[in-house]
Each structure stands twice: as structure tokens, then as C-alpha cells.
């Protein structure tokens, strides 16, 4: 099995402006996503919805090595990372098809990446 992370971008302000019914429809897509994953042999091993990017804390280092902590999102963009799933799968092509359940027409694309634990070193090191 290969471990993949499914990254879910979103417009946080649009989410907050949705009615309860509209948000329920989005949650229903996530339920359908989970069911399809299970039925098709993929296993969700983790994931979470993330808080609004306004709660972000950034950590860096100054030139003198001091720890610098600032508030707010890293990038000033409409789309922010809104959540993620960790999925074990033997069939990435099928996983991509299931991920399409969460993709909205004209919206930001879902990103699927294998974790580095799955990378094979060509030199055998």
C-alpha cells in the first residue's frame, strides 16, 4: 500500500457565507467520498478539517537565530488549505477518480501526493 495525502483547498469566506443547508450538502459529498473509498479498496487512516487561516501562527527564525512567531496566513490568497485526508491505496488512478467527488466545477483542484515514505531511492541507500 502507498500512503497518499489528499489536500483540500477552499475559499474560507465562501464557506462561512454558506447556509446550513449548503454546508450540509458539502458534508454529504465527504460522506459519499468516504463510502466510495471503502467500497473501492482504499483506506482512510487520518484527516481533518482545518480551522480558518486567520488562526494561523507562522514560525520562522530571524538572522540572529531568534524564533519569530507571527499571526495570520502565510499567503494572502482566497484559497487556503481547508482540510486533508490520509489515504492508503494500491491504485492511485482509482483514488484520483474518487477524489473527483470532492472537486467542484470551476473550483480549486484537489491535490493528491504520495508521502516520502513511499519514495524508492534509485541508489538503494
Distance CA 100, CA 33 (A): 9
Average pLDDT over residues 59-73: 88
In percent, how much of the chain has pLDDT > 70? 89
Residue 65 lies in a domain: yes
Give the model's pLDDT for residue 54: 85
Residue 12 lies in a domain: yes
The parent domain of residue 78 ranges over 2-117
What pLDDT, in 10s, does the model give residues 33-61? Answer: 999 999 999 999 999 999 888 888 888 99
Residue 122 lies in a domain: no
Distance CA 58, CA 73 (A): 8
CATH assignment of the domain containing 78? 3.30.70.1060
Distance CA 84, CA 7 (A): 5
Residue 123 lies in a domain: no
What pLDDT, in 10s, does the model give residues 101-119? Answer: 999 877 889 999 999 876 6
Phi, psi of 51 (to 5 degrees): -70, 165
Give the model's pLDDT for residue 74: 58
Residue 124 lies in a domain: no
- Domain count for the chain, please give it: 1
Amino acid at each position: 500500500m502507498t500512503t497518499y495525502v489528499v489536500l483540500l483547498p477552499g475559499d474560507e469566506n465562501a464557506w462561512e457565507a454558506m447556509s446550513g443547508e449548503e454546508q450540509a450538502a458539502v458534508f454529504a459529498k465527504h460522506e459519499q467520498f468516504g463510502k466510495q473509498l471503502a467500497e473501492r479498496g482504499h483506506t482512510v487512516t487520518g484527516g481533518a478539517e482545518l480551522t480558518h487561516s486567520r488562526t494561523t501562527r507562522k514560525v520562522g527564525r530571524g538572522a540572529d537565530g531568534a524564533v519569530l512567531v507571527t499571526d495570520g496566513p502565510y499567503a494572502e490568497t482566497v484559497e487556503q488549505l481547508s482540510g486533508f485526508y490520509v489515504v492508503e491505496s494500491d491504485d492511485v488512478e482509482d483514488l484520483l477518480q474518487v477524489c473527483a467527488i470532492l472537486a467542484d466545477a470551476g473550483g480549486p483542484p484537489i491535490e493528491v501526493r504520495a508521502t516520502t515514505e513511499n519514495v524508492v531511492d534509485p541508489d538503494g541507500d
